[in-house]
Amino acid sequence: MDGAATDLMTPERSAVNATTLAQAFRLTAAERVDEVAIRTKGDAFTITWGDLRRRVDDLAGGLAQLGLGRGETIALMLSNRPEFHLCDLAAMMVGAAPFSIYNTYAPNQIEYVVADAGARILICEQQYLAQVLQAREGLPGLEHVIVVDGEAPDGTLALSQVESTRSDFDVDASVAKIRATDVLTLIYTSGTTGPPKGVQLIHRNLLAACEGLETLIDLPRDGRVISWLPAAHVAERNAHHYLPIVYGLQITCCDDPRQVLSYLPEVRPSWFFAVPRIWEKLKAGLETMIAGQPDEQRQAMQTAIDAGLRKVRLEQAGEPVPAELAEQVAKADAELFAGVREMLGLDQVEAINVGAAPTPVEVLEFFHAIGLPLAELWGMSETCGAGSVNPSAKIKIGTVGPPAPGIEIKLDDDGEVLVKSDVVMLGYRNLPDKTAEAFTEDGWLRTGDIGTFDEDGYLTIVDRKKEIIINAAGKNMSPANIEATLKSASPLIGQACCIGDRRPFNTALIVLDPDFAPAWAAQHGIEDTALLALAGHERVRAAVQEGVDQANAKLARVEQIKRFEIMEGDWLPGGEELTPTMKLKRKPIAERYADVIEGMYAG
């Protein structure tokens, strides 16, 4: 334990009280020297906080030898692996701002963000090296490419080489120079309406976000999280990198996000955050499992879930729960639901959250009914992912909760959500005009989201300001809510894009779920289970139509989907239709599928 860290560790002081994330890391590492900081599944790799600090310090010295210094940037293109945390922390110790590139980016996209950030060093792994080297041809300022695995080809460096060239770099002296107002990282927005903008987040921003969470979730000493979202997304960096640094949470790296649910039983996380599609799939999987049980067991489970749902709906409505119903649910919880939670690996969670898109009420109610109080939250890159969150003691389904501690939220005259807090970004990199546009004259951040407050101060997000559909009759609608209703109505529907702006009625482009659709087809005797073939199969279309009909039954007449087309293949994150964070690229979709869309309105 080094002297500087020891001096900081007093009974009144901990990583929560640090003034920078770099200082917070050293405090946590000093306090938890022999505890495991990062691991992979099955403990194939583990590293303690003490050993992590030693490797971080060695790599920080090596990066300094390459010329990296305070105030500079460094690019990372890594999957969810231990080296991400190592490299990000090492750059942080130097006082630089490490930022992540979406792994789905093409060479021209890599070139754009690296040039915009002004990075002279890029760290990647073998599977992304070809794209990086192609991008490098247009990046004369990119001096070094470091490879974390395998052989480093000519013109690149191996991570081990850089770690071994620490020299006499004084890490503690470097950390002492870092200020709360220094840029900690850049989060490049997904780019739904143009080139991505670099959101500049400073140390104070992320520490404020962490402090707000402390009052909402009482994370245990042995708290655990799973790192599985893209590191270029603010939710991943905050939930599975910065929070573990501040609170000493153990990180398990999941390098394939499609396998994250299989990690839950081993990790048994203390906090689990996922996008709506994960919870929708989990619900569909449980319902399929229940449907396959013998009659007696199936009926018992369904009766228990129905009772749980009745109790949840009464509680949400503020109505008393009859003693008989409460007793029935308590018994079901002990005899049935506890086993389900243990099977899922969610029996030790302190909190479970969902965000990034609207979540169907049916999904939220289902998990509440089985004893998993899933809570929606809301935030954005410009606010470190923080904004509002449902407190576990009083979750209001259908809302994203009241403003989180330390965050002020109000609505503009047109309903736009405005935010003021220490979590709000410094500004967009190299874009002073865009930064100015993002704030009101009196300093409130314009979020671009439209919201409403209820009588308890709970916020509901209606939609994006620029994405509201106004049909030919002048009716305003939320496409995101319509799409969420469609996806929750049938597990066959993986993606849905609602069309209807300036149109007489709504239509939808539907993409089959790449996991569920082939399995469903095989169960129904369909030989060719490829998505391409299934898109045109009559039985598949009939099943999707059933889902659309169920969704329409929950929508207002003007919101209902009158016609739809099933798209061939899949829409992949980072592709032409979806951003890396799985948001719909509405304008490119409208342009690419113009003929299909016009066909739905013909005649």
Which CATH number fits the domain that encloses residue 298?
3.40.50.12780
> Does 212 fall in a domain?
no
Statement to judge: residues 459 and 549 lie in one domain: no
Statement to judge: residues 37 and 58 lie in one domain: yes
Whole-angstrom Cα distance, residue 447 to residue 460? 14
Whole-angstrom Cα distance, residue 522 to residue 519? 5
pLDDT (average), residues 429-433: 95
Weakest-pLDDT range from 20-29, 154-163, 555-564: 555-564
Statement to judge: residues 546 and 482 lie in one domain: yes
Q: Is the pLDDT of residue 463 over 80?
A: no
Statement to judge: residues 401 and 437 lie in one domain: yes
Half-sphere exposure of 510 (CA within 13 A, CB side): 35
Weakest-pLDDT range from 2-16, 367-381, 458-472: 2-16
Q: Which domain holds residue 296?
A: 276-464
Statement to judge: residues 298 and 445 lie in one domain: yes
> Does 371 fall in a domain?
yes
Q: Report CA-CA distances (Å) from 317 to 313, 324, 330, 360, 395.
A: 6, 18, 20, 17, 12
Statement to judge: residues 473 and 522 lie in one domain: yes
Residue 191: per-residue pLDDT: 58
Q: How confident is the model at residue 193 (pLDDT cuts 50, 70, 90)?
A: low
Q: How confident is the model at residue 485 (pLDDT cuts 50, 70, 90)?
A: confident
- Residue 388's contacts (CB-CB under 8 Å, 6 or more residues apart) are 377, 378, 379, 400, 401, 402, 403, 404, 407, 409, 458, 459
Q: Residue 474, exposed/middle/buried by CB under 10 A (0-12, 13-18, 19+)?
A: exposed
Q: Residue 28, exposed/middle/buried by CB under 10 A (0-12, 13-18, 19+)?
A: buried
Residue 6: per-residue pLDDT: 34
Per-residue pLDDT tens for 166-191? 778 999 999 999 999 999 999 998 65
- The three-state secondary structure class of 201 is strand
Residue 478: per-residue pLDDT: 79
* Contact assessment for residue 143 and residue 97, using Cβ atoms and an 8 Å cutoff: no
Statement to judge: residues 444 and 502 lie in one domain: no
Whole-angstrom Cα distance, residue 88 to residue 75? 9
Count CB atoms within 10 A of the CB of residue 164: 12
Residue 582: per-residue pLDDT: 76
Statement to judge: residues 460 and 493 lie in one domain: no
- Among 430, 464, 498, identify where a domain stops: 464
* Contact assessment for residue 17 and residue 8, using Cβ atoms and an 8 Å cutoff: no
Residue 7: per-residue pLDDT: 37
**Domain tally for the chain?**
3
Whole-angstrom Cα distance, residue 237 to residue 244? 10
> Does 207 fall in a domain?
no
Statement to judge: residues 475 and 367 lie in one domain: no
> Does 123 fall in a domain?
yes
Residue 167: per-residue pLDDT: 77
Whole-number percent of the chain with pLDDT over 90: 71
- Among 274, 298, 321, identify where a domain stops: 274
What is the residue-averaged pLDDT of the chain? 91
Residue 422: per-residue pLDDT: 96
> Does 456 fall in a domain?
yes
Whole-angstrom Cα distance, residue 45 to residue 49? 13
Residue 9: per-residue pLDDT: 37
Amino acid letter, 277 = R
Would the pTM of this model clear 0.75, i.e. be above it? yes
Statement to judge: residues 119 and 10 lie in one domain: yes
- The three-state secondary structure class of 241 is helix
Which range among 67-76, 160-169, 518-527 has the greatest average pLDDT? 67-76
Residue 582 pairs in a beta bridge with none
Residue 11: per-residue pLDDT: 34
Statement to judge: residues 16 and 141 lie in one domain: yes
Amino acid letter, 284 = A
Residue 200 pairs in a beta bridge with 186, 427
Whole-angstrom Cα distance, residue 369 to residue 39? 33
Statement to judge: residues 324 and 256 lie in one domain: no
